[in-house]
Chains A and B, each alone.
Chain A
Amino acid sequence: MSSHAASGTVDHHHDASTATGIPNKKLLMWAFLASDCMFFGTLISTHLIYRLHPPAGNPEPRVVFDVPLTSFSTFILLMSSLMMALAVNAIQKGNLRSMRFSLLTTAFFGAIFLGCQVWEFWHFVHEKHMTITNSILGTTFFTLTGTHGLHVLIGVIWLISMYFYSFTGRVGEKQAIDVESMGLYWHFVDIVWIVIFTAVYLLEYL
């Protein structure tokens, strides 16, 4: 008999009732994230191809981009990932109160990231005059970062929904997989941004 069974605790990394030994929700989320990798891979490729072969009249990214703001956004997203990991850790121990706090903090950081992105987009359109239709750079940049922003928005809505759902009494240690699946999604949003931050922003300054 396992130590988990003996102690009455839940094994969060193994599910004996499935053929793979992996909880179905977790398997579904990993399969979705694998497919999302390809989705973002094509968007990043498209941006890079047009950056390597810029058409005439393309705005100069160094003039348009604001690295301090983007660096701040990156830091915020990293901290939101930490809070998400702590939320999963808390619910796996049955600490509902700590999980709620961590979920709210994660959602708050996600909202800050979105606020920075909205400000950045507004700044690019109104001050730098780069829109999604007036240049290839604008098209690829807004499509890529906008799609990522949409993922963040979905994540924030999911986080807030889970926060309120936790008050129904249907979220506990045995349902930790629901929070963990959400955490996988949120961390994925973070790793996509890690790639975008380097490929789209930092490499422009070399």
Chain B
Amino acid sequence: MSSPSATATPDAHGHADDNKFWAYVQIAMLLAVITGVEIVAIGLPFNKVLLITALIVLSIVKFLFVIFYFMHLRWDKVFCTILFFIGLILAGGTMWALLTIFAFEDSRPLTAVTADVPAEHSTR
């Protein structure tokens, strides 16, 4: 196992060793405020689609702040970002595929189909 070299090659990210203390505190406060906004938002009498979109966007903002600042992706080699996003895209693609497949009538989970049968019979 190698350890970070004390005689590193020329560094284009010299600012990385700056004191990030206050930046971290400010980001954490921002994340807390966004979480508060999310909680308040679910009680607002707005359009459902608008609220769902807002919640998803706010979650993505929180997600990106954590991975790029707290997890240092902003300062690390871009390969780390690519590696993580490969997993993220595969996971997102899998979720999209599964949700799409099960949206079709013939692919609904068996328990859900079975549960609907008595209801359909009773309406005939």
Verify B59–A2 contact, CB threshold 8 A: no
Interface residues of chain B: helix, strand, loop or mixed (majority): helix
Nearest residue (CB) in B for A89 is: B20
Check A180 against B72 for contact (C-beta < 8 Å).
yes
Q: Does A134 contact B (CB under 8 A)?
A: no
* Contact of A13 with B83 in the complex, beta carbons under 8 Å: no
CA of A59 to CA of B3, assembled, Å: 52
Whether the Cβ atoms of A41 and B91 lie closer than 8 Å is yes
- A202, B20: Cβ atoms closer than 8 Å: no
Closest residue of chain A to B25, judged by CB?
A: A82
Question: Which residues on the A side are within 8 Å of B32 (C-beta)?
Answer: 75, 78-79
Q: How far is the CA of A30 from the CA of B84 in the complex (A)?
A: 6
Question: For B115, what are the chain A residues with a Cβ–Cβ distance below 8 Å?
Answer: 54-57
CB distance from A84 to the nearest CB of B (A): 7
Are B8 and A2 in contact, CB atoms less than 8 angstroms apart?
A: yes
A195 to B63, CA, bound (A): 8
Tell me if A27 and B4 are in contact (CB < 8 A).
no
The reply to whether B17 and A9 form a contact with Cβ atoms under 8 Å apart is yes
The answer to whether B84 and A14 have CB atoms under 8 Å apart is no
A11, B8: Cβ atoms closer than 8 Å: yes
Q: Counting CB contacts under 8 A, is A50 at the interface?
A: yes
Q: Which of A20, A25, A41, A183 sits near B94, CB closer than 8 Å?
A: A41
Give A50 to B109 CA distance when docked, in angstroms. Answer: 7
- Judge if A49 is at the interface, Cβ distance under 8 Å: yes
Contact partners of B95 in chain A: CB under 8 A: 41-42, 44-45, 48
Is A112 in the interface zone, CB < 8 Å from B?
Answer: no
- Chain A's nearest CB lies how many Å from the CB of B63? 5
- Judge whether A198 and B24 touch: CB under 8 Å: no
Q: Are B52 and A12 in contact (CB under 8 A)?
A: no
Asked whether A13 lies within 8 Å of B66 as measured between CB atoms, the reply is no
Q: Which positions in B face A, CB cutoff 8 Å?
A: 1-11, 13-14, 16-17, 19-21, 24-25, 27-28, 31-32, 35, 38-39, 42-43, 48, 51-52, 55-56, 58-59, 62-63, 66-67, 69-72, 75-77, 79-80, 83-84, 86-88, 90-92, 94-95, 98-99, 102-103, 108-109, 111-112, 114-115, 118
Known pairs A15-B5, A34-B86. 19 more at Cβ < 8 A?
Answer: A11-B4, A11-B16, A13-B76, A14-B9, A15-B8, A16-B5, A20-B79, A22-B80, A30-B80, A30-B83, A34-B90, A42-B94, A49-B109, A55-B115, A67-B39, A82-B70, A177-B3, A197-B59, A198-B58
